[in-house]
Chains A and B, each alone.
Chain A
Amino acid sequence: MLTKETASDIFDRIRRFSSADEVEAIFTGSRFALTRFANNTIHQNVEEENSIVSIRTNFAGRTARATTNQFDDESLRRAITASENLARVQTPDPDLLPMPTSQEANAADKSVRATRFFEQTAAITPADRAEVVESIVSVAGKHKLTTAGIYSNSESQEGIFNSRGLANWHQQTLAEVSITMLAEDSSGWQKLNSPDVSNFDPRWLAEAAAQKAVESAHPREIAPGKYTVILEPAAVLDIVGFMFWDYSGVAILDQRSFLNDRIGTQLFGENINILDDAAHPLQAGSPFDGEGMRRERVQLVENGVVKRVVYARATARKMKNSEYAGKVGPIEATGHGFPLPNEVGEMPLNIVFGAPEKALSVEQMIASTERGVLVTRLWYIREVDPYEKIVTGMTRDGTFLVENGKVQCGLRNFRFNQSLISMLSNVEAMSPPVRASGEESFDMVVPAMKVKEFNFTETTKF
């Protein structure tokens, strides 16, 4: 496994071997293990150990990257040569900045952050995972269901070094469980992850997934149309995740963002507040970006008004000199850049929704709903219209009819075509935000939401 010391030694060799004006090395490494089960049996069970160094060289405004997972001198020299050859043939880019110094990269926030490395997560063995899977299978057996899912654990490292003295390092662990319970004509699902495995109980999740499968049995079909929906947190994050690529200075400059001409306007309901906050206690991931810059806390949306977007260093400078300066809120590098060179610039990846003034639980949302649809999970979401931010997708693994304040029965799944702008303007209630994980977007801290006039356009056959 990589340590900061071994990475530093490798970087010293890289510096010696390179003739570039500047050189940067990004290290990523992990030991990742995953036990996969289906039909109440473990059918796939894997473990991987890999470390990578990605080398960027700069020559007077020209830059490129080459990557290898072998750290012998010959492999490093080959990667450096590839990076240098790719860089040298380019026309100089006037927007390319010198690499950041350690002082610049770490100026934003010097606070000590809580560890995201937990021995109890790193130490999980194949036998431990099998024991947890056995307990999930036993829940399935109790309810006469079939189960499928995963239980995984990993320890990972991420580091960035450059020839101007930057040397940032992060390590963390992550445990994850995802459970589907299947009945003859219905299913239920639950998923959670955390750096600390003691933060979730797989057996409780198995029971929750089983309950959904049992309660949605023999689903009814109802006509598509506009319904009040109660979206559980995983459904919320998977659908709203499709808009965060656009909270980027480069997206504005490229005129591919739905926020073009809309920053500073009342785009969503006044109850919508969205932060990007890598240091939030429910978040995971590295505290620095692809150039090594400290990730800052950024208020993206305040009371439904989009206040600002995030910036890599070069994007901030370019934006200040653009026609958009003065129309897009504060313009400063925020520590959200992807490794250079890239086309997309930056993106907020540690989304935290603000808590509502008066939070309701999902049960309270159900109790307050005369007629609506409770949605566990959304699936295969894709963008239909980039400016109105219409996305399509399906419900999955637990869709219920709510009438007169109670869950009445399971429903056949719907296809939706829904504008995210409309959706976030129609939020009637929210739960306290929680760490949630789906399959279509990255993990977030999000609430469950009760949304009026959600647009279901078709039904499927199950």
Chain B
Amino acid sequence: MAARDTLNLKMKTTAHLALDAASVRGVTYADARVVAIRNRSLTTKNGRVGHASESESLGIGVRVIADGAWGFAASADLSRVAVEAAAARAVEIARASALVKREDVRLAPEPAAVAEWTTPFKVDPFTTSVEQNLDLLLKVDAEMRAVPGVTLAETGMNFQREESWFLSSEGARIHQTKYSTGAGYTAYAFAGSEIQKRSYPNSFGGQWQNRGYELIEEMKLVENARRVAEEAVALHQAAQCPEGVATIILDGSQLGLQIHESIGHPIELDRVLGMEANFAGTSFLTLEKLGNLRYGSELVNVVADARQEHGPGLGTFAYDDEGVAAQSTPIITNGRFTGYLSSRETAHTIGSARSGGTLRAEGWNRLPMIRMTNVSILPGEKPLSLEQLIAATDDGIYMETNKSWSIDDKRYNFQFGCEIAWEIKNGKRVRMLKNPSYSGITTEFWNSMDAICSRDEWTLWGTPNCGKGQPQQVVGTGHGASPARFRNIRVGSAYS
């Protein structure tokens, strides 16, 4: 039997063992997730390898409801004794939870799925050689450092394979294997009293998707390195972004982060219900706003879509981490607020008979919680390229690539900084601007959107570093977006 098959069998057997151990202790519900994660992480800095590592992590998380309350215990030790002890501990913890409860946990019904699913990919990234990976990164590094004025060049590449078995006391038996791949780079230029930088294809380590090595091959990393480095140096000669009120156009990657912060987080139903009040915060989207709030202009259409049809985003899967099938939920429909991200426990609070299928955990040792899947703005229906949008703008600022991001704990007031901008006059980019920033109030901002580019400008971006929960969990989310235009936006206040 191959090593992979042996591991697969061990994982499934272990999950069964945990379920059996929990069941005999009088629980009303139990599930077990056995997860094996493999990761490769490579970076370079100024012509040398910065970091080279691989990691493996294997363990089980057991989640139960006893006395109407939740308990969770996780163990890296998959021996029979340790797994049974983890299950017993989860039950003990649930009974302790029940000492401070107001009502019993209610789970929305879900058919018990029996399924097998793997991320579609062309090239398993772990079959590529480290030499090949480093050779590409060092080529990019050399291109950046060939530009005079570049003081620091950094590149990075990451692969992850996550195999999981999910079994529940309701009969679910789900085996999933997810791959994710990411790569990108940044050129820095320090001169005088300024540090400027440019990243490609995005900040946060570049672009990330649930795909194989083919993503790396498609990104044209080497081809763009010199231009990006030249822009980092040129920013030192650029004018400061003005302070005032302006029309702005955001590139797709920045719009993706704007969606993440000012739509993706406030629609998390656990935040709305106060479950994150101590850490990540709550949400301005209180329950009475569902179906009633004018979130954005008529052009704003947003979905939360975990299905493969939406694309290979970091929020794409077949089943979430409590066995609910991937779905597409309309979040904003022609500007009106129409949906939350929900789970089996929270669905009833919005009158829904079924979970929206968004519960995910960072790994075997963490409790799954409501997370963004792929929260994407749909592209404009009429053909419109970025260059056509700029040509149709008399006076504005086009901003590209996120540099800083911040939003309050109810998700009203935000401020973003970008790496670079260009002033637009009479439909043309007339000069480069440095240190661009914009700020506003979420609903006012989305209601000011008056144009969005069409499908050929739309990219499903990956945000690999979304933090939430206590203990904090970091997971990846997807955000499809194309460039869009917003009117009467406050700009430049970051430097005011």
Residues of A that sit less than 8 Å from B by CB: 32-52, 54, 63-70, 75, 78-79, 82-83, 85-87, 89-91, 93, 125-127, 129-131, 133-134, 137, 146, 148-150, 152, 178-180, 182, 187, 189, 254-256, 260, 341-343, 379-388, 390, 392-394, 396-397, 413, 415, 417, 439, 455, 457-462
Contacts and interface: CB of A to CB of B under 8 A. Distances in A.
Contacts of B367: 44, 46
Contacts of B58: 69-70
A149 B278 CA distance: 5
A79 B38 CA distance: 11
B55 A67 contact: yes
B53 A396 contact: no
B284 A392 contact: no
**B58, B193, B278, B413 interface centre (most CB from chain A within 10 Å):** B278
Given A260-B190, A396-B408, 10 more contacts: A36-B470, A43-B97, A82-B54, A381-B406, A386-B195, A387-B194, A397-B409, A417-B495, A455-B496, A461-B410
B439 interface: yes
A296 to B, nearest CB: 25
Interface string B271-285: 001111111010010
A66 B100 contact: no
Q: Say whether chain B's binding surface is mostly helix, strand, loop, or mixed.
A: mixed
A306 B369 CA distance: 44
B59 A413 contact: no
A394 B52 contact: no
B411 to A, nearest CB: 10
A421 to B, nearest CB: 11
Contacts of A89: 129-131, 134
B387 interface: no
Nearest to A338: B51
Nearest to B100: A42
Given A127-B96, A343-B50, A396-B408, A384 B417 contact: yes
A130 B50 contact: no
B441 A461 contact: yes
B450 interface: no
Contact of B278 (A134, A178, A342, A387): A178
Contacts of B493: 417, 457-458
B154 interface: yes
A85 B278 CA distance: 44
B495 A47 contact: no
B494 A182 contact: no
Given A256-B190, A392-B415, A458-B439, A41 B101 contact: yes
Given A382-B405, A415-B439, A390 B495 contact: yes
B152 to A, nearest CB: 5
A64 B40 CA distance: 11
Given A42-B69, A90-B134, A255-B195, A78 B56 contact: yes
Contacts, number: 278
A130 B56 contact: no
Closest 8 pairs (CB-CB, A-B):
A126-B96, A460-B413, A343-B50, A148-B277, A67-B55, A255-B190, A64-B52, A82-B54
Interface in B56-102: 56-59, 69-77, 86, 89-90, 92-97, 99-102
Contacts of B96: 35, 42, 45, 125-127, 129-130
A415 B413 contact: yes
B97 A35 contact: yes
B52 A86 contact: yes
Interface string B125-166: 000011100100000000000000001101000000000000
Contacts of A458: 413, 415, 439, 493
A388 B410 CA distance: 29
A457 B417 CA distance: 15
Given A148-B275, A148-B277, A379-B408, A461 B154 contact: no
Contacts of A32: 471
Contacts of A69: 56-59, 76
Interface string B359-382: 000000111010000000000000
A258 to B, nearest CB: 8
A387 B190 CA distance: 9
B72 A47 contact: yes
B474 interface: no
Contacts of A455: 496
Contact of B97 (A38, A42, A462): A42
Nearest to A396: B409
B256 to A, nearest CB: 17
Interface residues of B, number: 85
24 contacts: A32-B471, A38-B276, A42-B100, A46-B367, A48-B74, A50-B74, A50-B75, A63-B52, A65-B53, A66-B56, A67-B53, A86-B130, A130-B99, A146-B277, A148-B277, A254-B46, A255-B190, A256-B195, A342-B51, A384-B495, A392-B417, A458-B415, A460-B412, A462-B408
B152 A256 contact: yes
B145 to A, nearest CB: 13
B391 to A, nearest CB: 31
A33 to B, nearest CB: 8
Interface string B160-180: 000000000000000000000
**B49, B86, B435 interface centre (most CB from chain A within 10 Å):** B49
Contact of B101 (A42, A85, A182): A42
Interface in B404-434: 404-410, 412-413, 415, 417
A380 B265 CA distance: 13
Contacts of B405: 382
A106 B131 CA distance: 37
A50 to B, nearest CB: 4
Interface of B: 43, 45-46, 48-59, 69-77, 86, 89-90, 92-97, 99-103, 129-131, 134, 151-152, 154, 188, 190, 193-195, 273-279, 281, 284, 365-367, 369, 403-410, 412-413, 415, 417, 435, 437, 439, 441, 470-471, 493-496
Contacts of B494: 384-385, 390, 392, 417, 457
A407 B74 CA distance: 47
Contact of B52 (A51, A129, A341, A381): A341
A45 B413 contact: no
A388 B193 contact: yes
Given A39-B274, A48-B73, A83 B54 contact: yes
A249 to B, nearest CB: 14
A386 B193 CA distance: 10
Nearest to A50: B76
A44 B72 contact: yes
Contacts of B46: 254
A134 B51 contact: no
A394 B92 contact: no
Nearest to A413: B408
A129 B71 CA distance: 13
Given A45-B96, A50-B74, A382-B404, A39 B51 contact: no
Contact of B56 (A38, A75, A86): A75
A393 B406 contact: yes
A137 B102 CA distance: 11
Given A134-B100, A384-B404, A384-B494, A64 B59 contact: no
A137 B273 CA distance: 17
Contacts of A87: 52
**A75, A126, A182 interface centre (most CB from chain B within 10 Å):** A126
Contacts of B365: 48, 50
B347 to A, nearest CB: 15
B154 A343 contact: yes
A130 B407 CA distance: 33
Contacts of A126: 71, 92-93, 95-97
A114 B144 CA distance: 49
A130 B95 CA distance: 10
A188 to B, nearest CB: 11
Contacts of B69: 42, 45
A382 B416 CA distance: 10
Nearest to B279: A439
Given A82-B54, A384-B417, A43 B408 contact: no
